[in-house]
Amino acid sequence: MQRRIIRFLNSIVSAVVAVVLVLMLLYSAYALWDNQHVYLLADSVQNDLLAFKPQEEEEAAPSFEELQAINPDVNAWLTMEGTHIDFPVVQGSNNFEYLSLDVYGNFSLAGSIYLDSRNSRTYTDAYSLLHGHHLDQGRMFGDLDLYKQRDFFDAHTTGTLLMPEGRYALDVIAYLLVDATDSVIFAPQRWTQDAADVLDFAKEKAVFIHEDAMQRALGVPSDEVRLLCLATCSTEYTDARTIILCLMTRAEQEVSP
């Protein structure tokens, strides 16, 4: 009798273990599918939007009016040399709105590249802050990891910010690794008129720095300099953030409004 009870209990335990293993396997398969689904959706949205990317000096090129007809929150288009970063930039009423919305306003775990809600949407602040999710395979702001490699950082120094009012050339000044609560990088409202302290912070904290770009930035009157910061999560440590700081220089060419 006792042996039958033990065998019965063992069979129950074996069945429970088998069910748990099957559920774990199913969950793992779902997680992989869901993860890939997020990536595919992000790729699909980006590929669709590239058809609306405004171009300079091309009569038949899409205009910002077409892009803003999709979403009036679009205020610029960001491109970084040598990366997959080639996205429209939006700005919500707060910094949570576009964490999980794509440019079309649809729910998306990949979110959007967005300008901090405390910044001017016309990028007239001395310091403007862009946020984007860190996704694998270089999606969204995942390619900011490339700048952690010294060879890549040295070789890829430029980008472009297209706006309805014109174009800014971007020169990479520095790569930094900071806390998510950093009171310099993540407080753009402090630097609307003068970003000299941000440059001082970068000189002190940068992992890598382009001295020529830094000197150009320091050579501009402090109340006229324009800086653009690209920020994303980092796996270096808990609450770490990867930061790419750029100098914005207004170009002469105009973009179709």
Tokens matching residue 27 = 């969950």
Would you say the C-alpha torsion 147, 96, 92, 38 has a positive or negative sign?
positive
d(C-alpha 180, C-alpha 135), whole Å = 17
Name which residue leads in pLDDT, 18 or 196: 196
Going by pLDDT thresholds of 50, 70 and 90, the confidence category of residue 52 is confident
> Which whole number is the average pLDDT over 12-40?
50
Please choose, from the candidates 46, 70, 66, 45, the residue with its C-alpha nearest in 3D space to the C-alpha of residue 55: 66
pLDDT for 35 beyond 70: no
pLDDT for 199 beyond 70: yes
pLDDT of residue 113: 97
CA 165 to chain centre: 23
> Which whole number is the average pLDDT over 205-230?
94
- 98-141 pLDDT, tens digit per residue, is 999 999 999 998 999 999 999 999 999 999 999 999 998 888 99
Tokens matching residue 217 = 């930035």
d(C-alpha 147, C-alpha 136), whole Å = 15
Average pLDDT, the chain: 85
pLDDT for 7 beyond 90: no
- Sequence letter at residue 248: M
Going by pLDDT thresholds of 50, 70 and 90, the confidence category of residue 232 is very high
Catalogue all structural domains in the chain, each as residue range(s) with its CATH number: 64-250 (2.40.260.10)
User: Model's pTM, two decimal places?
Assistant: 0.82
pLDDT for 160 beyond 50: yes
